[in-house]
Amino acid sequence: MNPDRFLRALPVALASAFVVLPGVASAVQPFAISRIDVEGLTRTDPATVLAALPFKVGQTYTDDGGTAALRALFATGLFNDVRLDVRGSALVVVVAERPFVSSIDIEGMKEFPKDTVLPALKSVGLAVGQPVSQAVLDRVEQELRQQYLSRSLYGAQVTASLLPAGPDRVRVAIKVSEGGPARITRLHIAGNKAFSESTLLSEMSLGATGVFSWISKNDRYSREKLDADLDKLRQFYLRRGYLDFDVLSPDVSISPDRQNIDINITVSEGRPYTVSGVALSGDFLGRDAEFASLITVQPGKTYDADQVKASQEAIAKRYSGYGYAFADVSITPQLDRANGLVQLTVRADPRQRVYVRRINVSGNAQTRDSVIRREMRQLEAGWYDAEKIRLSRDRIDRLGFFSDVAINTKPVPGYPDQVDLDVAVTERSTGNVNLGAGYSQTEKFSIQGSLTLDNLFGTGNLFSTELNTSKYSRSLGFRLVQPYFTQSGISRSLDVGYRTSRPFNSTATSFELATLNAAVRFGIPVSETDRVFLGIGAEQNIIGTSDTLPLAYQQYALQYGRRSTAIPLTLGWERDQRNSALAPTSGSYQRLNLELSPFSASRYARLNAQAQQYAELPAGMSLGLNAELGYGKGLGGSPYPFFKNFFGGGLGSVRAFDQGSLGRVDPTGVYLGGTRSANVNAELYVPVPGTGRDRTLRFFGFMDAGNVWGADEPITTATVRASAGVGLSWLSPVGPLSLSYGRPLRSLQGDRIQKFQFQIGTAF
């Protein structure tokens, strides 16, 4: 070997194996690079190597440059080994490529689905088609172990290894032994005197293994959950005036087999404080009395952290109503420990008034921007108003197109008087297949259905078609609703339908009533929550000729003929103040509808009214109340047409009774309903354990009461039916689903009972 070439190559070879420290003298004389060659590549483009080098052909090579080149090439993660050779005035880069991953096999993993694990592995550098090293495998093992720790699987073992799979290819084998989760066998609180241990434990989400732990998984320990529970304890005491309350470091111990966990928490309660006074300090825009009225904390009462927080938020919200979006509001306590008193000082700085520069909409892949923007009551270039923003959020949520709606305020950099609003929505499936079904010993299984597109082509319009082939009714109908028929928000609905039906419990083999109808209806907004409806329609009813025709049908046909035509006029009113149309937890809803037909043979008036009220309760629960009344009367001496009767029983009325079975029964045994109806419903919604209080999936308990009456029947409490039971409410991909199982609390002889019922596409 040429001695000069050897002397030149030796320092470079040493640099490839050791980090060259600053200050070490170079043994290679700088030289001009005439050529750069790359050896050892099989997959990587030579341009990738050349781009990483800190020098080019024609530039001067130095030892420092060689060290930097080695570091840059190793940093690409593509090579297991890199060496620089100097051959005359040529520089040769010799590399050994890392093998690339041909497949990733995971064995023994049950806690996490594979389709969620692979993206997580990619984030730490492991993916099919990418080079791999032992350092990457170490990161994979560490990341998976950390994920198992978060699920209380402290005994989980993870091993990642490389197996040959061909030239320059390897297969990554990840073997997992999950073991069983470590469960909390004992959770103890010490130092508490004012409140019992059971009371404090009920405030925590963690708990010792119990009957429902397999659902809620509350016995699986994590530090994050424990910290959250300790904060809940602090809030519990602060709501009761214990301002000196403190939690000492909890003691968490795990058994040698890493399966059982004991948690001991020691608290220092202190004493409760009484509010001695409340003072204002700062700029209250000359409206001191107005802002003071928002403070719910009263002198002489025990300090309540929730009241303090609510007062602080109410004051900040009032500032935002005047355009001060970033008002700084704080309530500072000054403690008199000797006497157990606390003086509160409300400090406020409105800062600068701001206006909304731009409203950005995101998350609407299908729904058009205009559908969302037309519900906004906070406008661009207008002063910021928190109440208008809240109203905008509720209006967007009430559309029913989104499972989640959030409006976030974002300051505009460099402009302290401007903000942007980011409207983020999460779309839900709006193509619903609505099903109604039930089971009884006599009727067995029955089902009806329709198809509804609540957000047709993302326009916000509703289109529905009903095709029903049930035992008692066959129908085909179409409906189109345009919420914004005009720019001012006047809505229009068009309905066309044809239906043939037999009364409930009829034994006829052919239809006994056919109805052809068409109608148009306009909705006129009169306020943010109120709307008035005006409409007109045309309807023809044809009574059949079945041998088993109910007596009521025969009498009506003899007096008015088998064909009956009506031109009904409709007048309605609606007020919607719910926080959601799909799964409301607060707010109210009322509607009133009058159908009037004064110009035809079938002259009648039909009135229907409904009211709903929702209230949020502790622990993620909520209460829903519903009441509905119906009244029908013939006009001008004409009898009220039987085909406009109200029906009761079943879902939407009094559950646990057969659908439509309440009310008058014809001598032939069919259900005729009645001219007057009333029913009330109460539902207590409870979140399903382990779902994080998801309002789209909830258990509920219910109580129903009601009945229908004929025109000559007295309305008395003795005839009211009642029921109670439990059920499940789920906003499924095919529409709202309600399952219920109930028992009658009050029933009369001859009533038909149907304990289990379910329906998709209905509420109450």
Report d(CA 639, CA 711) in Å as an integer: 10
- What whole-number percentage of the chain has pLDDT above 70? 89
Judged against a pLDDT cut of 50, whether residue 16 lies above it is answered with no
Judged against a pLDDT cut of 80, whether residue 180 lies above it is answered with no
pLDDT digits (tens, 9 = 90+) for 106-159: 888 888 888 778 888 888 888 887 788 788 888 888 888 888 877 777 778 899
| Cα→Cα distances 228→205, 221, 232, 670, Å | 9, 12, 6, 60
pLDDT digits (tens, 9 = 90+) for 348-362: 999 999 999 999 999
pLDDT of residue 591: 97
Report d(CA 751, CA 134) in Å as an integer: 74
Chain centroid, CA 734 distance in Å? 16
Give the confidence band of 9 by pLDDT, cuts at 50, 70, 90.
very low
Report d(CA 396, CA 455) in Å as an integer: 13
Query: How, if at all, do strands 431-440 and 415-427 pair?
Result: unpaired
Judged against a pLDDT cut of 50, whether residue 523 lies above it is answered with yes
Report d(CA 728, CA 758) in Å as an integer: 9
Please name the residues in contact with 382: beta carbons below 8 A apart, sequence gap of 6 or more: 355, 356
pLDDT of residue 692: 61
Token pair recorded at residue 478: 């179409």
Report d(CA 420, CA 426) in Å as an integer: 20
Judged against a pLDDT cut of 90, whether residue 700 lies above it is answered with yes
pLDDT digits (tens, 9 = 90+) for 713-732: 899 999 999 999 999 988 77
Residue owning tokens 């003691």? 251
> How many Cβ atoms sit within 10 Å of the Cβ of residue 726?
14
- Closest by CA to 448, choosing from 758, 661, 671, 672, is 758
Give the confidence band of 468 by pLDDT, cuts at 50, 70, 90.
low
Report d(CA 699, CA 681) in Å as an integer: 16
pLDDT of residue 8: 38
pLDDT of residue 513: 82
Q: Could you tell me if 514 and 474 are in contact, meaning their C-beta atoms sit under 8 angstroms apart?
A: no
Q: Give the residue, 43 or 293, on which the prediction is more confident.
A: 293
Angle at 717 between CA 715 and CA 721, to 5 degrees: 100
Give the confidence band of 15 by pLDDT, cuts at 50, 70, 90.
very low
pLDDT digits (tens, 9 = 90+) for 46-103: 888 888 888 888 888 888 888 888 888 888 778 878 888 888 888 889 888 888 888 8
Report d(CA 681, CA 704) in Å as an integer: 5
Instruction: Give the bridge partners for 740, in sequence order.
Output: 727, 757
pLDDT of residue 444: 43
Give the confidence band of 699 by pLDDT, cuts at 50, 70, 90.
very high
Query: How, if at all, do strands 622-634 and 671-673 pair?
Result: unpaired
Token pair recorded at residue 30: 């700088």
Token pair recorded at residue 293: 């009225």
Judged against a pLDDT cut of 80, whether residue 624 lies above it is answered with yes
pLDDT digits (tens, 9 = 90+) for 584-604: 889 999 999 999 998 877 889
Dihedral pair phi/psi, residue 320, rounded to 5°: -65, -30
Judged against a pLDDT cut of 60, whether residue 506 lies above it is answered with no
Give the confidence band of 30 by pLDDT, cuts at 50, 70, 90.
confident
pLDDT digits (tens, 9 = 90+) for 251-274: 888 888 778 889 999 999 999 999
pLDDT of residue 439: 43
pLDDT of residue 663: 85
Judged against a pLDDT cut of 50, whether residue 636 lies above it is answered with yes
End-to-end CA distance of the chain: 94
**Domains, the chain, ordered by start:** 3-97 (3.10.20.310), 100-177 (3.10.20.310), 183-268 (3.10.20.310), 274-349 (3.10.20.310), 355-427 (3.10.20.310), 431-760 (2.40.160.50)
pLDDT of residue 432: 60
For the residues 546-572, what does the mean pLDDT come to?
A: 84
pTM score above 0.85? no
Judged against a pLDDT cut of 80, whether residue 488 lies above it is answered with yes
Q: Is 649 left (phi over 0), alpha (psi -120 to 50) or beta?
A: left
For the residues 506-512, what does the mean pLDDT come to?
A: 60
pLDDT of residue 255: 84
| Cα→Cα distances 490→278, 532, 533, 726, Å | 49, 10, 10, 40
| Cα→Cα distances 454→362, 431, 479, 494, Å | 20, 6, 11, 14
- Closest by CA to 315, choosing from 386, 382, 218, is 386
| Long-range contacts, stretch 311-319, CB < 8 angstroms, 24+ apart | 311/346, 312/346, 315/291, 315/346, 315/348, 317/386, 317/387, 318/290, 318/291, 318/294, 319/285, 319/348, 319/350
pLDDT of residue 518: 95
* 554: enclosing H helix or E strand: helix 551-560
Q: Could you tell me if 33 and 57 are in contact, meaning their C-beta atoms sit under 8 angstroms apart?
A: yes
Maximum mean pLDDT: which of 247-251, 466-470, 589-593: 589-593
For the residues 215-227, what does the mean pLDDT come to?
A: 81
The helix/strand count (H/E) of the chain reads as 13, 37
Tell me, what amino acid is at 421? L
pLDDT of residue 569: 95
- The DSSP string of 446-510 is EEEEEEEETTGGGSS-EEEEEEEE-SSEEEEEEEEEETTSSTT--EEEEEEEEEEE--TT---SS
- The DSSP string of 681-720 is EEEEEEEPTTSSS-TTEEEEEEEEEEEEE-TTS---GGG-
pLDDT of residue 301: 95
Report d(CA 628, CA 482) in Å as an integer: 26
pLDDT of residue 5: 36
> How many Cβ atoms sit within 10 Å of the Cβ of residue 226?
19
Dihedral pair phi/psi, residue 730, rounded to 5°: -140, 125
Judged against a pLDDT cut of 80, whether residue 482 lies above it is answered with yes
Please name the residues in contact with 695: beta carbons below 8 A apart, sequence gap of 6 or more: 580, 583, 585, 685, 687
For the residues 176-201, what does the mean pLDDT come to?
A: 89
Residue owning tokens 């172990």? 145
Please name the residues in contact with 718: beta carbons below 8 A apart, sequence gap of 6 or more: none
Mean pLDDT (the chain, rounded): 85
| Long-range contacts, stretch 194-200, CB < 8 angstroms, 24+ apart | 194/240, 194/242, 194/269, 194/272, 195/236, 200/233, 200/236, 200/267
- The DSSP string of 219-275 is TB--HHHHHHHHHHHHHHHHTTT-TT-EEPPPEEEE-TTS-EEEEEEEEE-----EE
For the residues 326-340, what does the mean pLDDT come to?
A: 94
pLDDT of residue 26: 44
Q: Could you tell me if 548 and 668 are in contact, meaning their C-beta atoms sit under 8 angstroms apart?
A: yes
pLDDT of residue 507: 57
> How many Cβ atoms sit within 10 Å of the Cβ of residue 75?
10
Give the confidence band of 430 by pLDDT, cuts at 50, 70, 90.
low
Tell me, what amino acid is at 606? R
Report d(CA 188, CA 200) in Å as an integer: 10
Report d(CA 341, CA 335) in Å as an integer: 6
Report d(CA 80, CA 156) in Å as an integer: 31
| Cα→Cα distances 496→408, 436, 482, 533, 604, Å | 42, 21, 15, 18, 21
